[in-house]
Structure 1
Amino acid sequence: MERYKILEELGDGTCGSVFKAFNIETFEIVAVKKMKRKFYFWEECMNLREVKALCKLNHPNIVKLKEVVRENNELFFIFEYMEHNLYQIMKEQQRPFSEGEIRSFMSQMLQGLVHMHGNGYFHRDLKPENLLVTKDFLKIADFGLAREVLSMPPYTEYVSTRWYRAPEVLLQSSYYTTAIDMWAVGAILAELFTLSPIFPGESEIDQLYKICCVLGAPDWISFPEATNISRLINISYSDISPTNLSDIMPNASSEAVDLILQLCSWDPLRRPTAEQALQHPFFNVDVHVPHPLLCDPLEPRLNNMGAKPNLELNLWDFGTEPDDCFLGLTLAVKPSASNLEMVHTVSQSMEEDILFCPRLNDHPEQSVRSSTHQLEFRNLLGLQSHHCSLTF
């Protein structure tokens, strides 16, 4: 960690703290997550779902985990730094988004999901706070609840933030699929038009009621695996009629409304996949999606390090089992942020183990200590190279 100089603390939670820092060798601004729990073996680090997922997923619309550093039994995650999250952008938006802006955000999120689902993971906690934005670039973040698509159910019943939680999860089905991510995509799409959540339930029961108020009563055969169907039976759903979405979001086109209704289908089997959603007529209009390979907004700009919005990260520990241990985070902008100051430097004398996630081409000059641990992790990822240096 001697290569990183801490600029400021961004957030502190039960199981970890997050700092804004820069690499004194490359002058790159990064986000550093320091876990409060001690990690005595690399195997513990490897079992973190966030590490497993992010080391396997490499896509312009998925946040990059640059390094995992274990130093004196303390664990650090080094992430690329993003300026905002979509929630804060919507909160500070003075006017409705244009449909072109919404198409750009949604296209990038869906492209990230195509890569994620295609590589065997579903996110399980998609929400505006977990969609990070720098300029017009959007990246999916916070993979603490990510799970392998082919992992054996039953899954945990509590996943995702309530307002974006699919009804099959609210009904305590433990055999859900990637369709729960697509429900969240539909809720986020609607929120981009209204700038407020479409299903703002105050409890799980109220969440189901809010969904009924918008979509109408469900078809009971859509939930053959729900284990707590009485939750909906107790709701006086017979008197609830579906709402005309065009009345809720008059600025949305008919194509946008149709896509929302498809994504927010009660029946998970009727929801389009991420790839199918990108083929919807809503995206037939030419969309300007930033190309990170042509112009990467995350390149260091030290001459521009004046007062900028700071990121605030709220942290939660969602699990108690070793395999469930992760650091969940929500990013937001502190409106009262002051000019950046270097507060302190991490000790330069600590012994450390560094794991570089595989990115692009190898650079032999970047050495990685504890090569045995590195090869062990490379074998976990199915990498073929036997070099003891990994780059990104």
Structure 2
Amino acid sequence: MERYKLIKEVGDGTFGSVWRAINKLSGEVVAIKKMKKKYYSWEECVNLREVKSLRRMNHPNIVKLKEVIRENDILYFVFEYLECSLYQLMKDREKLFSEVEIRNWCFQVFQGLAYMHQRGYFHRDLKPENLLVTKDIIKIADFGLAREISSQPPYTEYVSTRWYRAPEVLLQSFLYTSKVDMWAMGAIMAELFTLRPLFPGTSEADEIYKICSVVGTPSKDSWLDGLNLARAINYQFPQFTGVHLSVLIPSASDDAINLVTSLCSWDPCKRPTAAEALQHPFFQSCFYVPPSLRPRSAISRTPPSVGVRGTLEQQSARRYPGVLPNAKLTGNLNSAKINASFGTGVQRKLEMVNRVIAI
């Protein structure tokens, strides 16, 4: 740790505190997470979920773990540094974000999630505080609750901040999947449009009440498994017909409302995957995948001049399973900038730039 100078504490949580720091040799600003628990061996450190998951992640929309330091039985994570969180951006803001800004952020987060889920992990604690922003770039951070998809249940009940917690988790299911991240993204996306949480419950029971008041009470047709979960814990759903989200989010387009509605489906199986969300019409006017990052099958079928947009137009009538490229990102691809040009026939391109953006 002698190579780093701690400048200011920028966050404090259950498991550790986060400091803005500077590398004395290079002058690079970094974020250092200091764990509260003592670690007496490297074996303990490398088995931490956060270490195991982040060591496998190399994506422009996932925060980069630069190094792990153990000194005097204290564990430090050194991350790239980003200026602020999405929560901080929303907290004191009076003017609503434009749909262009929301589309830009959600596009990037879904790309990061698609990469993560395809690599066999889901986050379990997505919330505005864990989405870090600098200029046009947004990155997923804080993998302390990340879980391998292939790991065996039962999973812990208490995951995610309550307002973004999926109903299957609220009902104490131990068999939840990466679809809990998709529910969280639906709630976050709605909040970006209104600057107010969609389901601001004050307890687990009140959270389910708030969800029912918006989405409507689940039925046998909409979520039979949920009714069984509720019966197992002797819980009775409050009766609501629900509200169309366009009433609660009047500034959102029809495509945005449709996407949030599908993300906030009671039944996890009816929520889109991250890769499917990227294929939603909400992103059709702004989503371009460079040839090097496209699935091999898409490259062989689709001319470069057409790209994903052409594929979407041909297949807009059906949802198809998304595939995530296995291409490895090199050290030069430390950030991705979204070109904000829009209009009929105009594609917004994902440009890789060489400047270093840290978490």
TM-score computed with the length of structure 2 as normaliser: 0.78
1:27 aligns with 2:86: no
How does 1:349-368 map onto structure 2 within 5 Å? none
SS, match of residue 36 in structure 1: strand
2:321 is aligned to: none
CA offsets 1:122-153 (integer angstroms, 9 cap, x no match):
00011111000011110000100000001111
- Contact 2:263–2:271 (8 Å) recurs in 1: yes
1:293 aligns with 2:324: no
Question: Residues 76, 233 of structure 1: CA spacing in aligned structure 2 closer, same or farther, 3 A cutoff?
Answer: closer
- Gapped regions of structure 1 (runs ≥ 5): 300-330, 332-392
Q: Distance in 2 between matches of 1:223 and 1:52?
A: 35
1:186 is aligned to: 186
2:52 is aligned to: 52
Code of the aligned partner of 1:261? T
SS, match of residue 30 in structure 2: strand
- Cα offset for 1:90? 1.2
Q: Distance in 2 between matches of 1:232 and 1:212?
A: 17
SS, match of residue 78 in structure 2: strand
Q: CA RMSD in A?
A: 2.0
1:174 is aligned to: 174
CA offsets 1:49-107 (integer angstroms, 9 cap, x no match):
00110011110000011100112222111111111100111123231111111100000
- Cα offset for 1:8? 2.3
Count of residue pairs brought into register by the alignment: 298
Q: Distance in 2 between matches of 1:4 and 1:292?
A: 32
1:234 is aligned to: 236
Code of the aligned partner of 1:170? L
Q: Over alpha carbons, which structure has the higher Rg?
A: 1
Code of the aligned partner of 2:259? L
- Cα offset for 1:203? 0.8
- Gapped regions of structure 2 (runs ≥ 5): 288-336, 340-349
SS, match of residue 224 in structure 1: helix
- Contact 1:38–1:73 (8 Å) recurs in 2: yes
1:132 is aligned to: 132
Question: Residues 165, 19 of structure 1: CA spacing in aligned structure 2 closer, same or farther, 3 A cutoff?
Answer: same
Q: Distance in 2 between matches of 1:14 and 1:113?
A: 24
2:332 is aligned to: none
Q: Distance in 1 between matches of 2:185 and 2:284?
A: 18
2:225 is aligned to: 224
Relative contact order (C-alpha < 8 Å, sep 6+): which is higher?
A: 1
How does 1:39-78 map onto structure 2 within 5 Å? 39-78=39-78
Question: Residues 236, 4 of structure 1: CA spacing in aligned structure 2 closer, same or farther, 3 A cutoff?
Answer: closer
Percent of residue pairs bearing the same amino acid type: 58
Q: Distance in 2 between matches of 1:67 and 1:180?
A: 29
2:209 is aligned to: 209
Task: Answer with 265-274 or 8-17: which moved more.
Answer: 8-17
Question: Residues 281, 46 of structure 1: CA spacing in aligned structure 2 closer, same or farther, 3 A cutoff?
Answer: same
Code of the aligned partner of 1:216? G
- Contact 2:217–2:238 (8 Å) recurs in 1: no
CA offsets 1:173-220 (integer angstroms, 9 cap, x no match):
100111111111111111111111001111111111111111111024
TM-score computed with the length of structure 1 as normaliser: 0.72
SS, match of residue 143 in structure 2: coil
- Contact 2:217–2:237 (8 Å) recurs in 1: no
